[in-house]
Structure 1
Amino acid sequence: METTARRPGRPSDPRIDEQLLRGTQDLLVEQGYERLTMDAVAQRCGASKATIYRRWPSKAALVVAAAAAALQAPDVPDTGDLRTDLLECGRAYLQREGRDSQILAAVMSASRYDPALRDAAQHALGAPFGNLFEQVLSRAVDREGVSAVVDVPTLAQVFPAIAYQQVAAQGRLITEQDVVRVVDGVLLPALAAQATFAAGARR
């Protein structure tokens, strides 16, 4: 009879995970990434550093996990209208004043100077949100008559790149006006231009 191999040690307790992530979020808001330490998280949560390191191998990994727990991407929109779906993708980046926006700002600002944090944040935070645009644009190519020559991966990165620049470099939150400006002024015109170019090339 085949059995599933069990990892050594006691199984992870979700309650402890949640407590550690919550404590890390609080310290990010209070102190920022640079001043946050594993010792401070351990003290805040009444845990040992060994407990933390069993779950996350580094400060960057812990902070990104804490941010990802607070900032989860929504489902891919599918309203039947391309513009509306793109607007909904952009609205996923809206961060009202408050705790979640402070967590995001702390991570994004620090990631400019910390390659390990930047790479981890891109994988855990950036990719799920950027995937919203890629799936909507890919679907438009498949079923909405948008030309198959459209460079979906590049267009899908336009809004995330603008959002990162605005939040990380300028310290400004994404607004509804930003969403409409990029969708109506960049993405939809780019789709139309690529489709026109493709049609001309086929003549």
Structure 2
Amino acid sequence: MDHKILRTTRELIEEVGYQALTVDQVAARAGVGKAAIYRRYASKAEMAFAATAHGQWPPPLTDTGSLHGDLLALVRAFHVPMAAPPARHLVPALIGELAANPELDARFQDTFLAAEQTSFAEIIERAVARGELAGPVDPAIAHLLLLGPLATALYIHNRPVDEAMITDLAAAATAGITALADQRRSGHDGPR
């Protein structure tokens, strides 16, 4: 049933757009009751985000043996659903809804973003264990360093993101995370 709801949501977003999408339309086409949808998703926005930008989330983590390799694998995995046309139409609208709805924002933080930051925490822990990082770094900051620029390129600048940019984003995030770990180890938090 979950797969049917998400597939139907993607189809309808492509056909009618996010603004015109309704839970009633999804329920009717998927052949499920609205209650079944609302048991899974608190709102149209959450359902649409799960269907388009999040997919099977978080993506399985690959242990490549290096911080850079792990970040590169992760940004590649995030790029695929984030760059798809439905997500490129949905995410800007979702950002507006999150700003206007504190309850939806809290749920988004506690579900999708928490799962993403858990992935970053695991990558950082592995890098510390391998001796690549001088110490831990806040997973929320690592998340911003890698995925913030990807989201900006896709949703604000409307730039195509190719493999060269993905590689550059991973390299920049690796350098930033490494610098933060070194800074914290030396006792200098730097300017805020």
Q: Same fold (TM over 0.5)?
A: yes
Q: Say what the alpha-carbon RMSD is for the aligned residues.
A: 3.3
1:26-82 CA distance string (max 9 Å, x none): 111222211101232233234454554455443223223433673433322212222
Classify the secondary structure of the residue corresponding to 1:60: helix
Q: How many residues align?
A: 184
Name the counterpart of 2:6.
21
For structure 2, the 5+ residue unaligned runs are none
Give the ranges of 4+ consecutive aligned residues of structure 1 lying more than 6 Å apart after TM superposition. Answer: none
Name the counterpart of 1:133.
120
2:57 equivalent to 1:75: no
Q: CA deviation at 1:147?
A: 1.1
Q: How does 1:80-159 map to 2 (within 5 A)?
A: 80-95=65-80, 101-115=84-98, 116=101, 120-121=107-108, 123-148=110-135, 150-159=137-146
Q: Structure 1 residues 176 and 54 mapped into 2: Cα distance closer, same or farther (>3 Å)? A: same
Q: Structure 1 residues 75 and 49 mapped into 2: Cα distance closer, same or farther (>3 Å)? A: closer
Q: Which whole-Å CA distance do the structure 2 matches of 1:118 and 1:167 have between them?
A: 21
Residue type of the alignment partner of 1:114: E
Greater C-alpha Rg: 1
Task: Tell me which of 164, 185, 192 is aligned to 1:177.
Answer: 164
Q: Bigger CA drift: 183-192 or 114-123?
A: 114-123
Residue type of the alignment partner of 1:195: D
Q: TM-score, normalised by structure 1?
A: 0.70
Q: Structure 1 residues 139 and 192 mapped into 2: Cα distance closer, same or farther (>3 Å)? A: same
Identity, % of aligned pairs? 28
Classify the secondary structure of the residue corresponding to 1:36: coil
Classify the secondary structure of the residue corresponding to 1:35: coil
Residue type of the alignment partner of 1:113: G
Q: CA deviation at 1:121?
A: 4.9
Name the counterpart of 1:45.
30
Q: Which whole-Å CA distance do the structure 2 matches of 1:73 and 1:181 have between them?
A: 22
For structure 1, the 5+ residue unaligned runs are 1-13
More helix by share: 2
Name the counterpart of 2:149.
162
Name the counterpart of 1:66.
51
